[in-house]
A and B are shown apart, each in its own frame.
Chain A
Amino acid sequence: MILNSIHEISIKLKNREISVKNLIDDLINDVAARDSNLGAFVSFDPELLLQDAKQADDQIALSKFLGTLHGIPIGIKDIIDVAGYPTRCGSEIYSGEHKKTNATVVDDLRTSGAIIAGKTTSHELACGVTSPPGSNPWNINYIPGGSSGGSGVAVACGYLRAALGSDTGGSIRIPASLCGIVGLKPTYGLITTTGIEPLSTSLDHVGPLTASVEDCALVMNSLVNSRRVDYDSELDNGINGMRIGVLAGKPFSPMHSAVQQAFENAIIRIQELGARCVNIEIPELEHTLAVEFGIIPREAAEHHIGSLRKSPELISEPIRTLLVAGRIMPKTSYLRACQGRKIISRAIRCAFEENYLDAVITPSLPATAAKKGQKKFSFGDMTEDISVSYVRTTAPFNISGQPAISIPCGRDSTGLPIGLQIATRPYQESRALRIAHTFANGIGWSLLPPKSF
């Protein structure tokens, strides 16, 4: 069943042109047919889904329609607690015991009537960019990105219109960019992480990956009801007169030529849509990775010290190394990174204020999806670990905590998606969504999931 938006689905459900059971039957059949190749879900319970579907349909029959998300299936990254499911975080250190309570974000979705579709694949401990066994729906020999890779796959392949992910150094925006969908990292602290396994508590964010900007706004309405903001109310207001900074220099360069071209085309289009683009550089951002990688190990190790002591063999070597470093590096290193964070955040703020910016744009990532098993990218004479490549362009906005959204802006020569990243001032998610929506309409983008495998 091809439906173009959560809004469209919602109207059809409310008018009883389709039932929630119809949606869920399609989902169950689709996952059964394709997920052995795609690896989006790690926990998927058709019986539970059909029970939830019946309840949702019964409510609709009694005219108890809870809102636009009523009956909509939404995937949940497997670091986020859902009652009745285990939370395994892609790791053997978790027991597989079924949780009894929901994370707050899951409660919020349920209150809005959403159906929890299942638990999506997470890279181990949310600490990586490849999310095995997930596959990129545009070419299953390529990675979907991570660590919220399963959520990226589930939306990009057409199972779902929306899924939740988490983002500590890009883990929503990386799979969004590589899978050709929308991914929003909101302002730090805007959406509570209660009931979510942490990686690095001062950098962790939770947010949606969706098939359109409108869908993203609708999910945000459910997750952030405390702020009384309608994230979809500004979407159609355009970007005429906005000032948008084009961030150049490190850490956004170097980038692959296809990304460069797509980004330049995006700038032209944004200007045609009425915004003024201003080139800016923020030299302090050169230190992004030193700050990001200076903070994560200590905070991650604090959470996982028990497993490091009792069962280190259950943690993969790269992550074990990171955790050990977190315990051994002196506290002064961590505090220096935290101080660096404050300096970088202040520099970004100054750039916004001195240039009267509404937003900044960058390529979401300097490259498209890596092949499975690929360890490095080449950028001319330079080679770089793929995790470093992917994190260097996204981490600046984990460090500053401001909202950042990735929206598709093109493809490389093999058809793999390229993302445009838009970052706005803290708590201005509506503005980020508005710019993304205007851009998406401006280039005529809507997600057409690839043919099934």
Chain B
Amino acid sequence: MSTEEIESKLKIDLITDTGFLIEQIVNDLEGRIQLDISLNPLLRDTIIDEDPSFSPAW
């Protein structure tokens, strides 16, 4: 995600002052994107459910 994209998303979300540099957000997001990609072997061809709700019952 580019710096411009991030700044644009924050602006739309009315987060005008994150209190730190955009570069820090970029670095953090890089890590999170990698974490998301790491789910690929777990998810494989699973169709992603639009309903995130969860029940623990077996």
Contacts and interface: CB of A to CB of B under 8 A. Distances in A.
Contacts of A324: 10, 15, 18, 25, 28
A289 B38 CA distance: 10
Contacts of B4: none
A297 B36 CA distance: 13
Given A321-B25, A324-B15, A343-B42, A202 B36 contact: no
B15 A336 contact: no
Given A328-B6, A342-B49, A187 B56 contact: yes
Given A294-B36, A324-B10, A345 B52 contact: no
Interface string A294-338: 100100000001001100110101001100110111001111111
B54 A333 contact: no
A290 B48 contact: no
A336 B35 contact: no
A309 B53 CA distance: 27
A328 B36 contact: no
Contact of A337 (B16, B39, B53): B39
B42 A329 contact: no
B3 to A, nearest CB: 12
Contacts of A70: none
Contacts, number: 118
Given A317-B19, A328-B25, A335 B54 contact: no
Interface string B1-30: 100001001100111111110001100110
B15 A333 contact: no
Interface string B37-48: 011011100101
Instruction: Tell me the interface secondary structure of chain A in the complex.
Output: helix
A175 interface: no
Contact of A328 (B14, B24, B29, B49): B29
Given A328-B29, A349-B58, A320 B20 contact: yes
Given A289-B35, A293-B32, A339-B49, A328 B56 contact: no
B22 to A, nearest CB: 10
Contacts of B42: 284, 287, 290, 340, 343-344
Interface in A71-97: none
Interface string A273-291: 0000000000010010111
Interface residues of A, number: 48
Interface in A349-363: 349, 352
A368 interface: no
Contact of A333 (B25, B32, B50, B55): B32
B36 A425 contact: no
A324 B46 CA distance: 28
Given A289-B35, A343-B43, A312 B18 contact: yes
Contact of B1 (A305, A328, A401): A328
B56 A400 contact: yes
Contact of B20 (A187, A189, A317, A342): A317
B57 A426 contact: yes
B36 A321 contact: no
Given A324-B10, A327-B9, A189 B29 contact: no
A332 B48 contact: yes
B23 to A, nearest CB: 12
Given A312-B18, A327-B9, A328-B9, A293 B35 contact: yes
A336 B36 contact: yes
Interface in A246-270: none
Nearest to B53: A202
Contacts of B15: 308-309, 312, 324, 327
A338 B51 CA distance: 9
Contacts of B43: 336, 339-340, 343
B49 A335 contact: yes
B52 A202 contact: yes
B41 to A, nearest CB: 8
B16 to A, nearest CB: 8
A275 B20 CA distance: 54
6 contacts: A189-B55, A317-B20, A321-B20, A343-B46, A349-B58, A427-B57
Given A320-B20, A335-B48, 16 more contacts: A293-B35, A294-B32, A309-B16, A320-B18, A321-B24, A324-B15, A325-B25, A325-B32, A327-B9, A327-B10, A333-B32, A335-B49, A336-B48, A340-B42, A343-B43, A352-B58
- 3 shortest A-B CB distances, which residue pairs? A401-B56, A338-B52, A188-B56
Interface of A: 187-189, 202, 284, 287, 289-291, 293-294, 297, 305, 308-309, 312-313, 315, 317, 320-321, 324-325, 327-329, 332-345, 349, 352, 400-402, 425-427
